Chains A and B, each alone.
Chain A
Amino acid sequence: MQNRKPKNSPFRGLDIQRHSFLSDKDCRLIHEGSCQLLEEVGIGVTHAGAVKLFEKEGATKQNGRMFIPRMIVERSIQQTEKNIVLKALDSTNNLGIEGKNSRVHYGTGGQALYVLDYKDGAFEKKAAVTQDLIDIVRICENLENVDFITRPVEPNVQDEDMDLTKTRIFLENTSKHINLANLIQIEKLPEIISMVQNKELISFIACVLVSPLSMAESTTEKFIRFIQEDIPVAISSCPQAGTTAPLSEVGELMQVNAEVLSALTLANLVRPGAKILYRGIPITSNLHTNVSPRWCQPDSIRRIAIISDMTHFYGIPCCGTAGVSDEKEPNPQAIAEKTLSWIFETASGAQFINSALGMLEQVLTVCPEQYIIDDMVIGRIKQLFLKSPDYNLRDIARTGVEEALSMFGVQMDSAMKEEVSSRINFIFSGQEEYSADHVQAQADLIKKAIISGKSSNVFLKTSRSGLRRGWLYSGKRFEGRLELEDLHLLKTEILDSYGN
């Protein structure tokens, strides 16, 4: 079992030397491209209060799009709070999230629709209910490597009661930091603050952005209310390369960055010094089949890790993403892809890694046993990073997957080892040039897509050349049978200890 806190720190977390994929020059190029997008393509804004705030500062609105001068954006980056303390009922669980540091924390993620129940050696998928929320919070309270808990599933009560019910469940069952993610009814916020008594105990995630480059009106209202209350909020934007963003890594990065910066600007117009976590999730679409999101494939792992380069460039706290498997059930493939994603996201120095445990089938399903698997593997990954402060990331990735699979009874053969190396090589290897010309070409494409009114068709069509150049990873699967009986017993033991 590891120590919860690093030496000489009042906070939990894993302190590491971070690995950068991009140089400061590359980050500057992306930043310039994003500013250009906000100035020339603008962001779709319909929320009247947000429009007023933007216009008051000199932004202009035309045809539903807000054109934001670079000066306001860059001032907002400066104003944003760089160090945030996320408190917990047990103060030894407090988290110090500092934009320039790389102290990494892991937590759950969610609003999954389904839960997998383990029965007689097989998994059964069912709709998530209130008891699942209680069980998962209790399991995570007992897992050493869960630093914070994001609402994994919603309780199945009336909309009217949802927000208060989930807050009560959290308060009764965890001593860790509570990330409530979203609220169904923003009018409930004062009651929630009153319930928790200390609003420093909670944080939220606001999916303000709809890619490409638009703000969702109802979420904007919620976002503004969180900021007014000075509660930390992760600004979430999750474009899918090839459908809601260019397939190009450079194009998607500058778009997601522009999207997050637009909301970050709004936040600082509401309250200068807003407590923001930057949550850009530039994943890819499965263009080989049905355009479903690819959360845990090498292309997405690389792009998500690069986001931390941008947040460190700005010095703004990063809400990272890792461990969201594309698999439907716990299996060797899920363990392998999750492990690679945790390792690269950890190395990137993302301070608040959300969705890191329990998640399967993109973000649709969670599984109690998977939380325990993920906790065990994250614990092992931490040991690998701590063993050698000047680590070799390739070695950690290779060893990490091998050890993770071995923990659950799967020994890697030479074909599997080759596949791990192939995935690692893809994550390391940039497929595109970071140049002003390429940035301009991608800005032009995004502009064309938005003007067309059918942006997804434009992004899909223009992905054909990139697809043929291998911008989406295609490899072999990790097969085998996991030994899960002990995990099931452990889960049962944890839940039985609560006496019902």
Chain B
Amino acid sequence: MSDLIEEIKKNLIAGRVDSEDEGFDEDMTGQPGVTELVKQALEEKIPASDILAQALTPGMEKVGRLFEDGEYLLPDMLASAECVAEATEIMEPHLAGVDIQSRGKFIVATVEGDLHDIGKNIVATILQGSGFEVQDIGTSVKASQIVQAVKESKPRFLGLSALLTSTMTHMGEVIDLLKNEGIRDQIIICIGGAPVSEEFAKKIGADIYGEDAFDAMNKLEKLA
């Protein structure tokens, strides 16, 4: 394995997207991060498939193990997942013809009237880092806009987030609208957010309640 690939893997495990990122053990600000290193590797004609197979995949597997052991916390996992997402985007044009297994398209939105995006962003980043094709359509998205996005992109999964008790009701509205459009059964709907619960998910007819990003990821991975 080339030193550069090893360096990409090391920085991925440290969760450093670019040179502006500090590490967590020491201040690494100024040193190249994953995006710079991936660009350099591509310039040096290292095949994108090698970067994927020898740096990103094993790097993320190690992060997963560290997280399971309790050595890594949520911010560490998120930082590494973001590295994978950014690196994949840079490598995309170079991966034509390489067989990459996507876990499925996932549209995610915070429902109408709710500007809170923490849960949505974490879920989006973590899922992207674990192989889902994520389309984040933003915050305070109207039910009709969400349904429109589903019709256009035909995702396998739809994630709805809400933090407010006053906005969580819009989740049910989205599901009702999907039913009216006759496309409810074509997608798996996952909901999350502080005020929602398993019971609420059942009540509005969602398929999955994600207690947190990892719970959502575990449940979605089983279906992917």
Contacts and interface: CB of A to CB of B under 8 A. Distances in A.
A290 B82 contact: no
B75 A113 contact: no
B194 A364 contact: yes
Interface of B: 15, 17, 20-25, 27, 73-76, 78-79, 82, 113, 115-119, 121-122, 125, 165, 194-195, 211-213
How big is chain A's contact interface, by range? 20 to 34
The listed residue with most A CB atoms (<10 A of its CB), out of B22, B118, B121, B194, is: B118
B25 A456 contact: no
- Main SS of the interface on chain B? loop
Contacts, number: 75
Interface stretch (A164-172, A276-284, A457-465): A457-465
Contacts of A288: 73-74
Contacts of A93: none
Contact of B122 (A289, A448, A460, A462): A460
B115 A467 contact: no
Contact of B75 (A210, A242, A362, A448): A242
A422 interface: no
A210 B24 contact: no
Given A291-B122, A461-B21, A456 B117 contact: yes
- Main SS of the interface on chain A? loop
Given A113-B165, A457-B82, A465-B22, A290 B212 contact: yes
A180 B73 CA distance: 40
A292 B73 CA distance: 14
Contacts of A244: 118
17 contacts: A216-B115, A242-B75, A287-B73, A290-B74, A291-B122, A291-B212, A292-B194, A364-B194, A448-B20, A454-B117, A454-B121, A457-B78, A460-B74, A461-B79, A464-B73, A465-B24, A468-B24
Nearest to A456: B118
B74 to A, nearest CB: 6
The 5 lowest CB-CB distance pairs between A and B, nearest first, are: A290-B212, A464-B24, A456-B118, A460-B75, A461-B79
A457 B121 contact: yes
A292 B23 CA distance: 24
Contacts of B125: 457
Contacts of A440: none
Contacts of A468: 24-25
A216 B17 CA distance: 31
A214 B115 contact: yes
